[in-house]
Structure formats: structure tokens, C-alpha cells
Amino acid sequence: MTDELRPMDHAAVDELGAAFALGALEPDEARAVAEHLATCQEPHTEVRSLLGAEQVLAMSVEPVQPSAALRDRVMASIERVPQEHAAAAPPRRPAPAEPRERRGWLDWLSPRVARPLAVAAVVALIAVGALGLNLQSQLAERDRALRAVAEALAAGETAFRVDGSAGRGYVVETPGEGAALVVADLAALPADKIYELWLLDAAGTPVAVGTFRPSAGDEVAVVELERDLAGFATFAVTVEASRVDAPTNLDLVMVAPLEPS
Amino acid sequence: MTPSPPHDDALLAQRIRSGDRTALGELYDRYASLALATALRVVADRQLAEDLVHDAFVATWQKIERFDPERGSLRAWLLTIVRNRALDRVRGIRASIEVGAADDQSLLRTGANPTWEAAIARRSAAQLRGALEELPSEQREAIELAYFGGRTYREIAVLTGVPLGTANGRLRLALAKLRDALSLTDAAPSGTDEAAP
């Protein structure tokens, strides 16, 4: 038994093997056993023979039939939730011949994750406060925004592609100035719901970084995040009844892995 | 319940990875009742258990790219997600929306162990329960506290009022007996039924 984290000897690993197999060690002990088994030249036959034993307990339970509604809930949720690897896949670059007026302006931004983008320029030209902006009635401003975005593409900031059932866009970050969600084609929300924004660290711990509710008819929304992206692995959006400290559901209506391409 | 052959699950995982929602539906049909039983065993609340099962299947869909068949079966991965979330809830930790490090670590110790997988596949849930019921009660209690209660052997020692060595020994003897009962090996564990403190 070890009371402090240090490399384990063979005897200690053998002694703790069953507890390890059942997940019944303290985290530092489990880490030490795992590291030992991963690198040790000794066979540790007894310990290795126990790995997987917890599946006996998992499979020994008497199955309980779920309610009929649960399957529908699951299937409805996966209709809305993109797969992580699909969301991270590079979107198609817009074809030059495609009529400009039929595309959302975000298609003019970087088609690749982590493509340089000057968020400050984008925000300055198209944002009117923290929330939505109706560009449909402001085509002149929209054109200026598009030009600004095109000019900003080489400016050295970072954009991460956001996709999902609620809309698509980018999380953009300007070092020293913070991050913002720029999103188009937002799905309408019920009257009693809001969008809540999250940053998640590598362990999946979510931190709330803002809420918003698009105005009717908004085509583009710009929402400043309350935290910068440093130390976080994923950006996500859920629909909530009010601002909460942790997501109440797994229906990620928008998601972006915060990883450079 | 007779589990589906692991190769079926491997194909199912491939289809889910390709974005086939009907495959996720098939996974649900295959394991939802088992997942619910696991969650219910841990949290003892039907509605909460169904919420956890919902979240686990959505996480499976969303994070399927993280599933590595070299490290365990899809069934084991799913049930690990369910169990870890249920234990988090019991411990008062809000369920993470990610498939997290705890799930990965669980699979590290579960591993792709074809011996246990094959032994389990040949038996019904009732037969597996029978093997558990054959254990001395204090050993069965110890492994159930570990798996369904998420307790460490140190906590088990406190909860059952025995020395650390005894609690750890009960886990070791219980698993060794299960291994033998399921004919995984001819090698019997050494020692008595009660480890020295």
C-alpha cells in the first residue's frame, strides 16, 4: 500500500491488482499501478488476469426496461447533436461561381479550423452591442463586413469552426482582447429558453461563459465570451431555461473543438 | 440476457462513427435495459437513471471517435460511461457533458480482455449473478461496494469496519474466485478466505 505517490514495486502492484481492476484505488494509486503495468517487463500474470473482471458485475444486473419515451428522447437528441469528429471536419470551401447572395456571410470566412481571422475587425464592423444584428435590412453594412473579413483573414488571430443544429459560425479569439462567438443562421428559440455558452477543459468540466437570445429575424449574432480560450478544449452551446452553472442537458446545439488544425 | 458477440458491437461502432443514426438506435435496443439497470443500481432513482442513460447514449453518439476497440468492447465503454456518470451524481458531482478522463481510465483497467469477454458472453445475467452469489457474503459486499458504490478499498475498510489489508484481500479473493468459477483459468488463488490485516 502506498500513502504517497511514487513508483510502485512489483509486490505493491500485485497486492493492489484486484482493487485496480475494480476501480477501487485512489486516483494516484490507480495512476501508479497503470504506469507500472504499462512499462514493467514482469508478467504480473495474476493482476492482468483480473483486468476486465468488473464486466461480470456490469453484466450481472437484471435488465430494466426503459420507458418508451426514452428511446424517442435519445433519437431526437442525436438528431440535434453533431458528432465530435464530424463537427471538426473541415467544411466545404464555397465554390467561387456560387451566387454570393445565396450564401451566409460566414461562408466568406475561413473554411478551415484555425484559419487566421481578425475578430476585432469583424466585430467592429458588424456588431452593434453584444447580441444580434439584423443584416438583412442593412445590406450595405453587410457588404462592408464581408470586405473587412476578407481583409482580416491574414491578420493572425484564430478562429474555430462552430457547427450544430442551432447554427454555424466561429469562435474567434484575439490575444489580449478576449473571444467571441460569431454565428449565423440561428435556430429560433421557444419564448422561455436561452442559449448558454460553455467552455470545457480537457477533463470535460464546463464553465459558463455567457448567455444570449437572438432577436427575431437576426441573421448574425456576435456574443462576447466572458473568458478567453486558454486552458479549454471545447466550446459548446446548450439551450437552457435560465443561466445555470452546469449544463442541464447533453443537447449540444453547437460545438467546436478548440484545437488547431 | 445474452450479450451480443463483440464483433457485432465492433461493426455497430463503425456504423455509428460513420454517422448512421439507426446504428445508435440498434445500440440502444441492445443495451438500454442493461444501462438503465446499472444506473438504477447506483442512483436508485428511476427518472434520474433514465436521464443518465439518455446522456450516456448521446455521449456515445457524439464521442464515438474516442472509442478504441483495442481497449475494450463498445458495451464496456457504454456501461463505463453510465456507471461513471451515475457515481458522479451520487457523489454530488454534476455530470460532465464530455466523455472524460475517468471513462478513459476505466477502460485502461478494463482493457480488451478477451478471456473475460468470452466467459461473460457464454453466460446469462442469471448465471453471472449465481457466480456472485456463490462468493462469501463479505467478499461479494466488498466488490459490490467497489463497482456499484464507487468505493475505494480504503473506504470499504472503513464502511465494513475491517483493516485495510482485509478489505483489499476480500477484493482480491472475490475476483480470483469469480475467475475460477467462470473457468477462466485453472490456477486457484493462494491463501485463505480472509486475508490477514
Q: Is A86 on the interface with B (CB under 8 A)?
A: yes
The position carrying cell 443537447 is A251
User: B133 in a domain, yes or no?
Assistant: yes
- Of A156 and A117, the structure prediction assigns the larger pLDDT to A156
CA distances from A89 to A205, A238, B67 (A): 23, 21, 18
Which residues span the domain enclosing A250?
A: 68-257
Which of A108-122, B93-107, B110-124, B178-192 ranks highest by mean pLDDT?
B110-124
In tens, the pLDDT along B99-134 reads 455 555 555 555 556 678 788 888 888 999 999 999
Q: Is B179 on the interface with A (CB under 8 A)?
A: yes
Mean pLDDT of chain B: 81
User: B118 in a domain, yes or no?
Assistant: no
User: B194 in a domain, yes or no?
Assistant: no
Which residue among A63, A79, A82 sits closest to B37, beta carbon to beta carbon? A63
State the CATH number of the domain containing residue B146. Answer: 1.10.10.10
Contact criterion met (CB < 8 Å) for B125 and A61: yes
pLDDT at A148: 44
Tell me how far the alpha carbon of residue A212 is from its chain's centroid.
Answer: 17
- B44: exposed, middle or buried (Cβ count in 10 Å: 0-12, 13-18, 19+): exposed
What number is the average pLDDT over the span A172-178?
69
Which residues span the domain enclosing B71?
A: 6-113
Contact criterion met (CB < 8 Å) for A204 and B63: no
**How far apart are the C-alpha atoms of B109 and B119, rounded to whole Å?**
18
User: B1 in a domain, yes or no?
Assistant: no
- Of A42 and A134, the structure prediction assigns the larger pLDDT to A42
Which residue among A60, A85, A238 sits closest to B65, beta carbon to beta carbon? A85
Which residue among B125, B164, B184 sits closest to A62, beta carbon to beta carbon? B125
Count Cβ atoms below 10 Å from residue A96 Cβ, excluding itself: 6
A179 with A237, same domain?
yes
CB B91 within 8 A of CB B150: yes
Contact criterion met (CB < 8 Å) for A24 and B32: no
- Of B34 and A161, the structure prediction assigns the larger pLDDT to B34
Residues of A in contact with B59 (CB under 8 A): 250
Least confident of A164-178, A189-203, B68-82: A164-178
Give percent of chain A with pLDDT exceeding 70.
64
B97 with B13, same domain?
yes
Q: Is A253 on the interface with B (CB under 8 A)?
A: no
**How far apart are the C-alpha atoms of B135 and B180, rounded to whole Å?**
11
B85 with B140, same domain?
no
Is residue A226 pLDDT above 70, yes or no? yes
Whole-structure pTM value: 0.57
B19 with B43, same domain?
yes
User: A77 in a domain, yes or no?
Assistant: yes
A81 with A149, same domain?
yes
User: A5 in a domain, yes or no?
Assistant: no
Biggest distance spanned by C-alpha atoms of chain B: 53
Q: Could you report the predicted ipTM of this complex, rounded to two decimals? A: 0.81
Domains of chain A: total:
2
Domains of chain B: total:
2
- Of B174 and A117, the structure prediction assigns the larger pLDDT to B174
User: A2 in a domain, yes or no?
Assistant: no
A126 with A22, same domain?
no
B175 with B96, same domain?
no
Residue A232 phi/psi, 5-degree rounding, is -110, 150
Is residue A52 pLDDT above 90, yes or no? no
Q: How far is A90 from chain B (nearest CA, A)?
A: 16
Q: Is A12 on the interface with B (CB under 8 A)?
A: no
A80 with A55, same domain?
no
pLDDT at A157: 57
B136 with B56, same domain?
no
B103 to chain A: nearest residue by CA? A203
**Which residues have CB under 8 Å from A222's CB, separation 6+?**
A122, A123, A126, A127, A130, A131, A132, A133, A180, A181, A182
At which of A41, A59, A77 does a domain end? Answer: A59
Q: How far is A26 from chain B (nearest CA, A)?
A: 6
pLDDT at B195: 42
Residues of A in contact with B61 (CB under 8 A): 77-78, 81, 83
A163 with A41, same domain?
no
A176 with A76, same domain?
yes
Give percent of chain A with pLDDT exceeding 90.
11
DSSP track, chain A: --SS--PPPHHHHHHHHHHHHTT-S-HHHHHHHHHHHHH-SS--HHHHHHTTTHHHHHHTSPP-PPPHHHHHHHHHHHHHSPPHHHHHSPPPPPPTTS-GGGS-GGGGS-SSTT----HHHHHHHH-SSSSEE--TT-HHHHHHHHHHHHHHTTS--EEEEEBSSS-EEEEEEETTTEEEEEEESPPP--TT-EEEEEEE-TT--EEEEEEE-PPTT-SEEEEE-SS-STT--EEEEEEESS--SS-S----SEEEE----
Q: How far is B37 from chain A (nearest CA, A)?
A: 5
B140 with B106, same domain?
no
State the CATH number of the domain containing residue B22. Answer: 1.10.1740.10
A47 with A75, same domain?
no
User: B27 in a domain, yes or no?
Assistant: yes
pLDDT at A15: 92
pLDDT at A64: 96
Which residue among A15, A23, A62 sits closest to B106, beta carbon to beta carbon? A23
User: A241 in a domain, yes or no?
Assistant: yes
Mean pLDDT of chain A: 70
pLDDT at B109: 54
User: B147 in a domain, yes or no?
Assistant: yes
A49 with A154, same domain?
no
Amino acid, res. A237:
V
B96 with B56, same domain?
yes
Least confident of A225-229, B31-35, B147-151, B185-189: B185-189
Cell numbers given for B43 = 442512483
At which of B83, B113, B143 does a domain end? Answer: B113
Residues of B in contact with A251 (CB under 8 A): 58
User: B188 in a domain, yes or no?
Assistant: no
A140 with A227, same domain?
yes
CB B74 within 8 A of CB B59: no
B172 with B97, same domain?
no
User: B189 in a domain, yes or no?
Assistant: no
pLDDT at A233: 83
The residue count for chain A: 261
User: A3 in a domain, yes or no?
Assistant: no
Which residue among A25, A78, A236 sits closest to B61, beta carbon to beta carbon? A78
B78 with B37, same domain?
yes
What number is the average pLDDT over the span A142-147?
44
**How far apart are the C-alpha atoms of B33 and A28, rounded to whole Å?**
34
Is residue B8 pLDDT above 80, yes or no? no
What number is the average pLDDT over the span A42-52?
86
Which of A51-65, A90-104, A131-145 ranks highest by mean pLDDT?
A51-65
**A–B CB contacts, 8 A cutoff, strictly below:** 221
